[in-house]
Chains A and B, each alone.
Chain A
Amino acid sequence: MSLAISYIANSLLILCLVTSIIQSRFLFKIQNYNFLSISQISAIQFLSILVSFFILLFLFITSDFNFDLVYFHSHSEKPLIYKLSGVWGNHEGSMLLWILILVLFNFLFSLSKSSSQKFKEITVAVQSLMIFGFVLFLLLLSNPFNINNENFNDGLGLNPILQDPLLAIHPPILYIGYVGFSLIFSLSITGLLTSEVDKKWATVAKPWVFAAWSFLTAGIALGSYWAYYELGWGGYWFWDPVENASLMPWLSGTALIHCVVVLQRRNTMQSWTMVLAILTFSLSLAGTFLVRSGVLNSVHTFASDPGRGLFILIFLFIILSSSFLLFALKSEKINKPSLHNISSRNTGIMVNNWLLISILVVVFLGTMYPLATDLLYNQSLTVGPQYYAISITPIIILFLFFMILSPQLSWEESKLLKILNEMRYILISCLTITFLTTLYFDLFNFTEILIIFLSLILIISSLSSGLNFKSTKVIVKSNFGQSIAHAGFGIFMLAVVSNAVYSQEKIYDAKVGSKLQLDEYIFDFKNIEQEEKDNFNSIRAYLSLSKNGKDLGEFSPEIRFYSDPPTITSETSIIHRFFSDVYVVMNVPQNQESISLRLHIKPFMNILWLGVIMIILGGIITAILNRKKNEENAIN
């Protein structure tokens, strides 16, 4: 039975491999095969992977331990949802998921009607070439359908720290983002091959690039939220190498979406857009490589296998060298002379593009430097959060400034004084608010005040630019997505700075019955209990929170001792209040008498997530609005 399933699944993968070769025929000018249309072949590609993915799901649900993958990564006693998420909680399964999304994007694009037939053929061909590479990798080096000949009674389980509903959906969302950029990459290669990188190209690419970017943002945000409540280290971003690996494509992707807009509106910045498209996808691939290969130590590392790392490295090398070679050959042809004034929106967007790439350089250096010094000089270094804070802050201040200014500038030429005059009410009100908050909260750090001031202006000016207030009606303008996302970024920055300034924490060695205090909050340590659950034992503490005599809720932080594999995890307990989160983490008890509890007050966390959600929404709105516009244009 198992053998038969394995054969079927492998044949499906080979079917996809073959159809991908057929699809890439357009690259080699072989046109005489017209038995099936491109979208039909794309459907076969998609279905073959979809079915093999469902087979893998089925194997995990039924706990078929004859398969290596199920044996190593699942357990019969695990709840169903974690059996399912176990499918992508490992290297082979996550590669299959990656490929599934790759073929899905290919299929969706083959159905779209926004581009010419020839353009579509070549894009699908490039995409299929990539699918071919990845399916080959899956078949040869990380086959999820390998069978063992032993009869195991039960599996080896999944890392309990990964047993979490958010983590179950985090990888698929992140992958949709990563892989979405593969389509942009294919579009760019097609644009370069046909020397057609212009307004039309941008119109075709825009909804895809915004969709991919929104998913990437959402994926990173989910991971960040998971780290915030699950790891219990009192933060939402740790500059961990794996987090950085996902932030880097996000930074260049953010630059890219703005370039695509400029290209669509002004027909300039062709080369830079191509560079960013290639860079973003390469960084997405490198992200996969970094995460999966085990080069970087992290909770995300599934398995260390140099062969797989090498394959992705070679793959990356081929993609990078061939696409930049193509770019070098064609960049002369695609570039149109650009005529625009220094004080135009182009300049503003270019500056911020460069600032985003500068932040990318900071993140890249911070991530790679310790590896480099270790290899070259045999000296170990630690690059912690402080390095990023120091290096990124000056860039962010400039970035905020140009983010406020650019949308106010017109595409042709603008007088700076006139803009200043138009913005005078916003400036004065923001200055007043900043001044009052500074007084009220005893702020005296100039950098913090400046960031708060700039963020406030950004929020107000962005919101007011996206909506048109006309006596009784509120009209939503076409740049609504942009205005929501920009305001969201302002809110996000405001929350980040305030959170950094006003976070408080304290560690107590507490006994049952004692009252602990942090700021104005009183934590009443009521009880401690030991429990035995299905797959772990737990120690749970019970505390109640009150402020000025008012009861605010109960905490129940927990320490879990898993037996299979032996792991200890700490479950945080959070009370979300509107302006701040209060949370309690228990440390692993060292003795019987007292329990070490860490209390945190994290102000403005809700507002921080609100900002992130607005950024994601802005991206989605732009993708959808643009799609509608495209369809209207196609009809006309």
Chain B
Amino acid sequence: MKFGFVPILVCTCILLCFSAFAEETRAINLFKEVRCLVCQGQTIHESNAEIAEDLKTLIREKIVEGKTDKEIKGFLAEKYGDWILMTPPVKELTYVLWFAPIIFMAIGLIVIFRRKKEKA
């Protein structure tokens, strides 16, 4: 069993690779959620402006620190405003944005089925 450490080493390497890979995927997914501050309508993922690169570095650091996606987004929103997030957070200001369509849809469907039932 002289080389018994080899499989363990290989497994550890693979695991490390995977976790690095997972972190990179997480990072990219977060990059797609953060708006580039200087370019029109692009995310930092799509941009290679200086500020975008700085933000990418910042997010990578936060991931290594063990922060969750939510914490990182919260941090960014606090520092730069909600504007920086590609998807607006659900809060008082955005209730109408998030819930109006579904309420609108529900009311219409109820009316359609109610009316028809009376006539039938």
Q: Is B104 an interface residue (CB 8 A)?
A: yes
A541 shortest CB reach to chain B, Å:
16
Identify which of B33, B83, B100 contacts A386 (C-beta below 8 A).
B33
Chain A 351-404 residues near chain B, CB threshold 8 A: 351, 354-355, 357-359, 361-362, 365-366, 369, 373, 377, 379-387, 390-391, 394-395
- CA separation between A526 and B93, bound complex, in Å? 52
If A342-B117, A365-B96, A588-B48 touch, whether A382 touches B83 (CB-CB below 8 Å) is: yes
Q: Is A472 an interface residue (CB 8 A)?
A: no
Q: Which secondary structure dominates chain B's binding surface?
A: helix
Identify which of A357, A382, A385, A391 contacts B84 (C-beta below 8 A).
A382
What residue in chain B is nearest A383 (Cβ atoms)? B88
What residue in chain B is nearest A369 (Cβ atoms)? B97
- Is A596 touching B109 in the complex (CB atoms < 8 A)? no
Identify which of A338, A351, A387, A590 contacts B112 (C-beta below 8 A).
A351
Which residues of B have CB within 8 Å of A351? 109, 112
- CA separation between A362 and B101, bound complex, in Å? 6
Which residues of A have CB within 8 Å of B117? 342
What residue in chain A is nearest B43 (Cβ atoms)? A384
Identify which of B85, B101, B108, B116 contacts A347 (C-beta below 8 A).
B116
Q: Is B66 an interface residue (CB 8 A)?
A: no
- Is A381 touching B94 in the complex (CB atoms < 8 A)? yes
- Is B100 touching A365 in the complex (CB atoms < 8 A)? yes
B56 shortest CB reach to chain A, Å:
10
- Is A384 touching B87 in the complex (CB atoms < 8 A)? yes
What residue in chain A is nearest B82 (Cβ atoms)? A381
- Is A361 touching B48 in the complex (CB atoms < 8 A)? no
- Is A341 touching B120 in the complex (CB atoms < 8 A)? yes
- Is B86 touching A382 in the complex (CB atoms < 8 A)? yes
Which residues of B have CB within 8 Å of A297? 40-41
- Is A342 touching B113 in the complex (CB atoms < 8 A)? yes
Identify which of A380, A383, A394 contacts B81 (C-beta below 8 A).
A380
- Is A387 touching B46 in the complex (CB atoms < 8 A)? no
- Is A358 touching B104 in the complex (CB atoms < 8 A)? yes
- CA separation between A526 and B61, bound complex, in Å? 34
- Is A379 touching B84 in the complex (CB atoms < 8 A)? no
Identify which of A380, A385, A391 contacts B101 (C-beta below 8 A).
A391
A195 shortest CB reach to chain B, Å:
24
Which residues of B have CB within 8 Å of A387? 87-88, 97
Identify which of A361, A379, A383, A384 contacts B100 (C-beta below 8 A).
A361
- Is A358 touching B48 in the complex (CB atoms < 8 A)? no
A87 shortest CB reach to chain B, Å:
26
Q: Is A233 an interface residue (CB 8 A)?
A: yes
If A347-B112, A373-B93 touch, whether A395 touches B88 (CB-CB below 8 Å) is: no
Which residues of B have CB within 8 Å of A359? 101
What residue in chain A is nearest B100 (Cβ atoms)? A365
Number of A-B contacts (CB under 8 A): 96
Chain B 67-120 residues near chain A, CB threshold 8 A: 81-88, 93-94, 96-98, 100-102, 104-105, 108-109, 112-113, 116-117, 119-120
Which residues of A have CB within 8 Å of B119? 338-340
Q: Is A331 an interface residue (CB 8 A)?
A: no
Which residues of B have CB within 8 Å of A394? 102
- CA separation between A362 and B41, bound complex, in Å? 19
Which residues of B have CB within 8 Å of A588? 48
- Is B87 touching A386 in the complex (CB atoms < 8 A)? yes
Interface size class, chain B: 20 to 34
- CA separation between A391 and B94, bound complex, in Å? 13
- CA separation between A626 and B104, bound complex, in Å? 34
A279-306: CB near B (< 8 Å → 1, else 0) gives 0000000000000000001000000000
B102 shortest CB reach to chain A, Å:
7
- Is B112 touching A366 in the complex (CB atoms < 8 A)? no
B1-43: CB near A (< 8 Å → 1, else 0) gives 0000000000000000000000000000000010100001111
If A347-B112, A380-B82, A382-B83 touch, whether A354 touches B105 (CB-CB below 8 Å) is: yes
Q: Is A275 an interface residue (CB 8 A)?
A: no
- Is B40 touching A358 in the complex (CB atoms < 8 A)? no
Q: Is A587 an interface residue (CB 8 A)?
A: yes
- Is B112 touching A350 in the complex (CB atoms < 8 A)? yes
What residue in chain B is nearest A588 (Cβ atoms)? B48
- CA separation between A377 and B97, bound complex, in Å? 15
- CA separation between A297 and B40, bound complex, in Å? 8
- Is A382 touching B116 in the complex (CB atoms < 8 A)? no
- CA separation between A627 and B108, bound complex, in Å? 34
What residue in chain B is nearest A413 (Cβ atoms)? B120
What residue in chain A is nearest B97 (Cβ atoms)? A369
Identify which of B85, B86, B105 contacts A395 (C-beta below 8 A).
B105
Q: Is A238 an interface residue (CB 8 A)?
A: yes
A397 shortest CB reach to chain B, Å:
12
- Is B86 touching A386 in the complex (CB atoms < 8 A)? yes
What residue in chain A is nearest B46 (Cβ atoms)? A233
Identify which of A234, A357, A590 contacts B48 (C-beta below 8 A).
A590
- CA separation between A89 and B97, bound complex, in Å? 34
- CA separation between A354 and B107, bound complex, in Å? 10
- Pick from B84, B93, B116 the residue with the most CB of A within 10 Å: B116
- Pick from B35, B83, B87, B93 the residue with the most CB of A within 10 Å: B87
Which residues of B have CB within 8 Å of A581? none
Which residues of A have CB within 8 Å of B88? 369, 381-383, 387
Q: Is A448 an interface residue (CB 8 A)?
A: no
- CA separation between A535 and B120, bound complex, in Å? 70
Which residues of B have CB within 8 Å of A341? 116, 120
B22 shortest CB reach to chain A, Å:
15
What residue in chain B is nearest A505 (Cβ atoms)? B28
- CA separation between A68 and B83, bound complex, in Å? 39
* Contacts A342-B117, A347-B113, A386-B86 supplied; 9 other A-B pairs, CB < 8 Å: A354-B108, A361-B100, A365-B97, A365-B101, A369-B94, A369-B97, A379-B82, A381-B88, A382-B88
| Complex A-B: 29 CB contacts under 8 Å | A297-B40, A297-B41, A340-B116, A340-B119, A342-B117, A347-B116, A351-B109, A354-B105, A359-B101, A361-B101, A361-B104, A366-B97, A369-B97, A377-B93, A379-B81, A379-B93, A380-B82, A381-B94, A382-B83, A382-B85, A382-B88, A383-B97, A384-B33, A384-B87, A385-B86, A386-B33, A386-B87, A387-B97, A391-B98
Q: Which residues of A contact B (CB under 8 A)?
A: 233-234, 238, 240, 297, 338-342, 347, 350-351, 354-355, 357-359, 361-362, 365-366, 369, 373, 377, 379-387, 390-391, 394-395, 587-588, 590, 596
Q: Which residues of B contact A (CB under 8 A)?
A: 33, 35, 40-43, 46, 48, 81-88, 93-94, 96-98, 100-102, 104-105, 108-109, 112-113, 116-117, 119-120
The 6 A-B pairs with the shortest beta carbon distances in the complex, nearest first, are A384-B86, A380-B83, A358-B105, A386-B87, A354-B108, A342-B116
